[in-house]
Amino acid sequence: MSTSSTPLTERTTWKALEEHYQKTHELHLRRLFAEDPQRGEHFALEAVGLYLDYSKNRLTTETLKLLLELAETSGLRERIEAMFGGEKINVTEKRAVLHVALRTPKGTSIVVEGENVVPEVHAVLDKMADFANRVRSGEWRGYTGKPIRNVVNIGIGGSDLGPVMAYEALKYYSDRNLTVRFVSNIDGTDFVEATHDLDAAETLFIISSKTFTTLETMTNARSARQWCLQTLGDDQAVAKHFVAVSTNAQEVTKFGIDTTNMFGFWDWVGGRYSYDSAIGLSLMLAIGPDHYHEMLAGFHAMDEHFRTAPFERNLPVLLALIGLWYNNFYGAETVAILPYDHYLGKFSAYLQQLDMESNGKHVNLEGNPVNYQTGPIIWGQPGTNGQHAFYQLIHQGTKLIPCDFIGFCQSLNPIGVHHDLLMANLFAQTEALAFGKTAEEVKADGVPDFQIQHRVFEGNRPTNTILATRLTPETLGKLVALYEHKVFVQGTIWNINSFDQWGVELGKVLAGQIVPELQGTTDSKFAQDSSTNTLIERYRQIRNATS
Ligand code: F6P
């Protein structure tokens, strides 16, 4: 059997999967369910409190066998151990990848460069908890002596998407006396709208940036300081109204935040894997340290499951392999994430960065172009809103869109029949997507002939369903870790570096060149291409026009 040293598409298992695809891709889920009346139970897995039904996928036991073989021959076991063992698997940045250390219980050991990092992690968690308790209890006061009622997190990408997603997801558990907002966009509107009704004397800004150099965040942070000082008038106020979360103490000091008010993390935490580091401070302020620790326990439970469960009973591995099946053999370009819980409104946006920044890569670990598809496009909206917007295309369009449906058996807000109706819709969608409706069935409903073809549902559209009991902090931790590890498994099989993001650099450099051209502070004629130069010229002409 050829292994990870053989290029992916030349491996025996890859070729066997190609052949298998040719033989099976026309198989309909209707037939697969008819042939195995217990398929719904056979192709399901429960682990760490999450139930995954993957029966409504276009696969057989043979498909799974081959996919699992692919995982084995990709060196996945060794890669998992390498990640958990603190090896520098982020080879282009020469960094370990240890978000799993952020949720490791006290007393355990994960060694990076000869040092156990777990005590440091818990020291920061304790410092966060102490601070959160002081703010929440009113002991920490603003410059004028008023308690803090508003928390504004300023950050972008991984320093925003995780905290804002988790804050929304866990709002039910949050202190409703605190107003918590998130500013990320460099568009001044974001800052202005987030602060227009806030009293600076009662507002705490958390400047969250791993590097503390990100243009958007630093620009918003400077505007926040100005906004604060406009009301409070004294530079001394900064110490009471600004804290920083960063790995860069030097830049934090330069900005004027005392490092006693800084919460650190480490270069072995990638931005998009960082919300359970100190980057989650805004979340901890909202939900309190106890709930935060419950969330970490959820992450850790999934980490342990991922590390120890056999691949055929391993939730992240199965999700990854199923995704890869559609991505690389069916040519599916996207994956829809469809949570049937209003609190998970930002979950797919969060997964967009997690997955697309990690696996949107065109070269392999050795720097050679890949000859296969890597990361999919991730998108989605919470149910049932999406049903009245884009589900038409999923049901009857020409594209294959594998979907993950996520639902909870108990509502946090059980009023009337809402939850049964919500869940009925979730189940109905997966059923309709899988089984569709034939022309005969449509005709039997008495539909006029001219409409029949328009009302046919081909079905055979694949879905996973993930069910949990309730949306708790612990469950959220499990769900996020599930997708983190799914992304890791796929990246491992594709032999790419899921932990760098060089693709965001070029735009930043060009923006840096264009700023002085827009501001007229450069003498040289615009140095861009003719399209960009014309746009710049036009912008400059119109920007200051009075009418
Ligand atoms: O967009 C690139 C990126 O580096 C992300 O990976 C990161 O999450 C984001 O910018 C923010 O970076 P920082 O936390 O350093 O401000």
- Tens-digit pLDDT profile for residues 298-318: 999 999 999 999 999 999 999
Q: How remote is the CA of residue 159 from the centroid of ligand 1, in Å?
A: 7
- Hey, which of 154, 214, 508 would you mutate to test ligand 1's pocket, going by the most ligand atoms within 8 Å of its Cβ? 214
Q: How remote is the CA of residue 217 from the centroid of ligand 1, in Å?
A: 10
- How confident is the model over 196-244, as pLDDT tens digits? 999 999 999 999 999 999 999 999 999 999 999 999 999 999 999 999 9
Q: Quote the mean pLDDT of the chain.
A: 96
Of 243-257, 482-496, 500-514, 519-533, give the lowest mean pLDDT range. 519-533
Query: Ligand 1: does its nearest atom lie under 6 Å from the Cβ of 159?
Result: yes
Nearest protein Cα to ligand 1, atom 10: 157
**Mean pLDDT value across residues 421-427:** 98
Nearest protein Cα to ligand 1, atom 16: 209
Any idea which residue has 């804002």 for tokens?
A: 164
* Neighbouring C-alpha atoms within 13 Å toward the C-beta of 436: 22
pLDDT of amino acid 315:
98
Query: Ligand 1: does its nearest atom lie under 6 Å from the Cβ of 271?
Result: yes
Contact 418, 349 (CB under 8 A): no
Is the confidence at residue 448, as pLDDT, over 90? Answer: yes
Q: For residue 319, give both structure tokens.
A: 């999700």
**Mean pLDDT value across residues 368-396:** 97
Contact 44, 55 (CB under 8 A): yes
Q: Which stretch of DSSP H or E encloses residue 45?
A: strand 44-47
Length of the chain: 547
Q: Which atom of ligand 1 is nearest to the CA of 272?
A: 8
Q: For residue 147, give both structure tokens.
A: 């308690």
Burial class (CB in 10 A: 0-12, 13-18, 19+), 12: middle
- Hey, which of 90, 159, 275, 358 would you mutate to test ligand 1's pocket, going by the most ligand atoms within 8 Å of its Cβ? 159
Q: Which atom of ligand 1 is nearest to the CA of 274?
A: 8
Is 357 noted as a catalytic residue in this protein?
A: yes
pLDDT-based confidence at residue 544 (cuts at 50, 70, 90): confident
Contact 461, 395 (CB under 8 A): yes
C-alpha torsion 270→273→274→276, nearest 10: -150
Burial class (CB in 10 A: 0-12, 13-18, 19+), 531: exposed
Residues 6+ apart with CB under 8 A from 295: 166, 170, 276, 287, 473, 474, 476, 477
Q: How remote is the CA of residue 510 from the centroid of ligand 1, in Å?
A: 17
**Mean pLDDT value across residues 325-338:** 98
DSSP designation for 376: P
Nearest protein Cα to ligand 1, atom 9: 157
Alpha-carbon span 2 to 6, nearest angstrom: 6
**Mean pLDDT value across residues 56-72:** 98
pLDDT-based confidence at residue 520 (cuts at 50, 70, 90): confident
Is 508 noted as a catalytic residue in this protein?
A: yes
**Mean pLDDT value across residues 153-164:** 98
pLDDT-based confidence at residue 524 (cuts at 50, 70, 90): low
Nearest protein Cα to ligand 1, atom 8: 158
Alpha-carbon span 130 to 289, nearest angstrom: 9
pLDDT of amino acid 1:
61
Residue type, 494: W
Query: Ligand 1: does its nearest atom lie under 6 Å from the Cβ of 217?
Result: yes
Query: Ligand 1: does its nearest atom lie under 6 Å from the Cβ of 209?
Result: yes
- How confident is the model over 110-124, as pLDDT tens digits? 998 899 999 999 999
**Mean pLDDT value across residues 355-373:** 98
Which residue would you say has higher pLDDT here, 301 or 546?
301
Residues above pLDDT 70, as percent of the chain: 99
Sign of CA dihedral 447, 448, 454, 458: positive
**Mean pLDDT value across residues 51-58:** 98
pLDDT of amino acid 383:
87
Query: Ligand 1: does its nearest atom lie under 6 Å from the Cβ of 501?
Result: yes
Start-to-end Cα distance in the chain:
72
Residue in 388, 440, 454, 525 annotated catalytic? 388
pLDDT of amino acid 400:
98
Q: How remote is the CA of residue 25 from the centroid of ligand 1, in Å?
A: 40
Query: Ligand 1: does its nearest atom lie under 6 Å from the Cβ of 270?
Result: no
Query: Ligand 1: does its nearest atom lie under 6 Å from the Cβ of 272?
Result: yes
pLDDT-based confidence at residue 547 (cuts at 50, 70, 90): low
Q: How remote is the CA of residue 200 from the centroid of ligand 1, in Å?
A: 27
Residue in 78, 333, 508, 537 annotated catalytic? 508
Query: Ligand 1: does its nearest atom lie under 6 Å from the Cβ of 274?
Result: no
pLDDT of amino acid 356:
98
Q: How remote is the CA of residue 494 from the centroid of ligand 1, in Å?
A: 24
- Cβ atoms within 10 Å, residue 450: 7
Q: How remote is the CA of residue 113 from the centroid of ligand 1, in Å?
A: 24
pLDDT of amino acid 21:
98
Is 388 noted as a catalytic residue in this protein?
A: yes
pLDDT of amino acid 303:
98
Residue in 168, 216, 294, 357 annotated catalytic? 357
Q: Which atom of ligand 1 is nearest to the CA of 501?
A: 6
- How confident is the model over 431-441, as pLDDT tens digits? 999 999 999 99
Alpha-carbon span 336 to 87, nearest angstrom: 33
Residue type, 202: E
Q: Which stretch of DSSP H or E encloses residue 62?
A: helix 61-73
- Hey, which of 211, 247, 355, 358 would you mutate to test ligand 1's pocket, going by the most ligand atoms within 8 Å of its Cβ? 211
pLDDT of amino acid 523:
58
> Which phi and psi (to 5°) does residue 95 adopt?
-130, 150
Q: How remote is the CA of residue 271 from the centroid of ligand 1, in Å?
A: 6
Query: Ligand 1: does its nearest atom lie under 6 Å from the Cβ of 277?
Result: no
Query: Ligand 1: does its nearest atom lie under 6 Å from the Cβ of 358?
Result: no
Per DSSP, what are the bridge partners of residue 465? 53, 405
Query: Ligand 1: does its nearest atom lie under 6 Å from the Cβ of 436?
Result: no
